């Protein structure tokens, strides 16, 4: 795929450059609680503006139902982008309507605009090729060139991700080029030992990547809500913990295959439990206790790895040369259940491994828990996209950027 450096070498002054970004930031009302995804696209937007392009930034935010919804407006993200750029950023209140056309037409060389949430138009996410294509045609009228830089969306076959690049000269932005380069390090000529840490709520979300990694990883460490399905598969009581009963046969098969292939599967040896899920708004004390992973009492919910597990996982990461981590180890948003996630992050900071934090909640946890992002090899902006890449799937948004 062609890169933005090739586009800049050709010259962008006066050209309308459509940048498909990922500004899908978490909001508390209109307050952005983590601006990592905005900062991630900043180098691409700034370089294009510096080159004299008229930059049109587009993104989705949340899951509106194909119609305008103030709760999912990109206005806060546009304002934050302007603050980070140190320049005014125009904002269009629609996607391809009168406001978008007028806003883009009013741009001078080197100026930046953000158009409203792409998912306010049903054509963006439509499964109907014609409807998606019609929306892509309208978006194409706003630009002369397309730059894909929304890595968090490249696994979606959406109009702005998949259909629009076919209608314009297209290039990969700095973020996508970086993300793909990092993921290649996790799939070709991997430095070993290669350790993978998987957490998060549901084991079903990780089945594909576990299946793929059983052929590649040296050890796989499991935490988060998904760990309790693994513990149940081994015959242990898991109380009222999150459990996917229907996934137990698949988990048992993965454990069998791992043993057969010599892949080390590491599960919690102790867990932090509480009578109920904690209140994440008030952060009220949740009355946690620590119990052995094979002795969880009925009526208690597992919410984090215990201290012995944290030591065990740190030891399993200490000698790794490559580490991929996707998914928190517990309910890190509450102080009573943050230690497991903090311990994994600290182990990666202390390690000499090339470490990749695979987007989503893991990336948010690193920032929320106060770690220096530069202490990790790479923090991805796309959890789902990273996982699908590691599963060996073809990602529509990357395929669309290929020539």
Active site residues: 37, 202, 360, 384
Distance of CA 403 to the CA centre of its chain: 26
C-alpha to C-alpha distance for 53 and 349, rounded to whole angstroms:
39
> Whose CA is closest to 121, among 101, 88, 94, 140?
94
Within 13 Å, how many C-alpha atoms sit on residue 120's CB side?
20
C-alpha to C-alpha distance for 351 and 339, rounded to whole angstroms:
18
Distance of CA 88 to the CA centre of its chain: 28
Q: What are the start-end ranges of the H helices in 15-97?
A: 36-50, 75-85
> Whose CA is closest to 238, among 297, 309, 303?
297
Output DSSP code: residue 107: P
CB atoms near residue 383 (< 10 Å) = 22
3-state secondary structure of 45: helix
Q: With contact defined as beta carbons under 8 Å apart, do 280 and 245 qualify? A: no
C-alpha to C-alpha distance for 314 and 348, rounded to whole angstroms:
8
Percentages helix, strand, coil for the chain (3-state, rounded to 5) are: 40, 15, 40
Q: With contact defined as beta carbons under 8 Å apart, do 26 and 32 qualify? A: yes
């Amino acid at each position: 795929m062609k890169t933005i450096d090739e586009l800049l070498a050709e010259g962008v002054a006066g050209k309308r450059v459509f940048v498909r970004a990922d500004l899908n930031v978490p909001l508390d009302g209109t307050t952005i609680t983590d601006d990592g995804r905005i900062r991630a696209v900043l180098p691409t937007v700034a370089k294009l503006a510096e080159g004299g392009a008229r930059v049109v930034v587009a993104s989705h935010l949340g899951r509106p139902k194909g119609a305008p919804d103030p709760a999912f407006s990109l206005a806060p993200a546009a304002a934050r982008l302007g603050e980070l750029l140190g320049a005014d950023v125009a904002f269009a209140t629609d996607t391809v309507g009168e406001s978008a056309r007028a806003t883009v037409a009013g741009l001078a060389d080197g100026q930046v605009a953000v158009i409203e949430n792409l998912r306010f138009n049903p054509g963006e996410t439509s499964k109907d090729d014609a409807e998606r294509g019609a929306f892509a045609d309208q978006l194409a009228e706003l630009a002369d060139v397309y730059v894909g830089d929304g890595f968090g969306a490249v696994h979606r076959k959406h109009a702005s991700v998949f259909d629009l690049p076919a209608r314009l000269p297209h290039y990969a932005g700095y973020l996508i080029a970086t993300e793909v380069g990092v993921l290649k390090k996790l799939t070709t000529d991997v430095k070993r030992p290669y350790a993978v840490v998987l957490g998060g709520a549901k084991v079903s979300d990780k089945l594909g990547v576990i299946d793929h990694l059983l052929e590649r990883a040296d050890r796989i460490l499991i935490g988060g809500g998904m760990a309790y399905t693994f513990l149940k598969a081994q015959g242990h009581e898991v109380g009222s913990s999150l459990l996917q009963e229907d996934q137990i046969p698949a988990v048992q098969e993965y454990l069998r295959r791992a043993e057969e292939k010599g892949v080390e599967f590491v599960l919690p040896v102790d867990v932090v439990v509480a009578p109920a899920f904690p209140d994440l708004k008030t952060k009220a004390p949740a009355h946690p206790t620590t119990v052995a992973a094979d002795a969880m009492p009925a009526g208690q919910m597992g919410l984090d790895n215990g201290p012995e597990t944290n030591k065990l996982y740190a030891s399993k990461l200490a000698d790794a040369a490559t580490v991929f981590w996707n998914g928190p180890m517990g309910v890190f948003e509450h102080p009573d259940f943050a230690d497991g996630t903090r311990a994994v992050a600290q182990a990666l900071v202390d390690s000499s491994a090339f470490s990749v934090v695979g987007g989503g909640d893991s990336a948010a946890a690193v920032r929320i828990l106060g770690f220096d992002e530069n202490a990790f090899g790479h923090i991805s902006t796309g959890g789902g996209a990273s996982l699908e890449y590691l599963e060996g799937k073809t990602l529509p948004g990357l395929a669309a950027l290929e020539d």
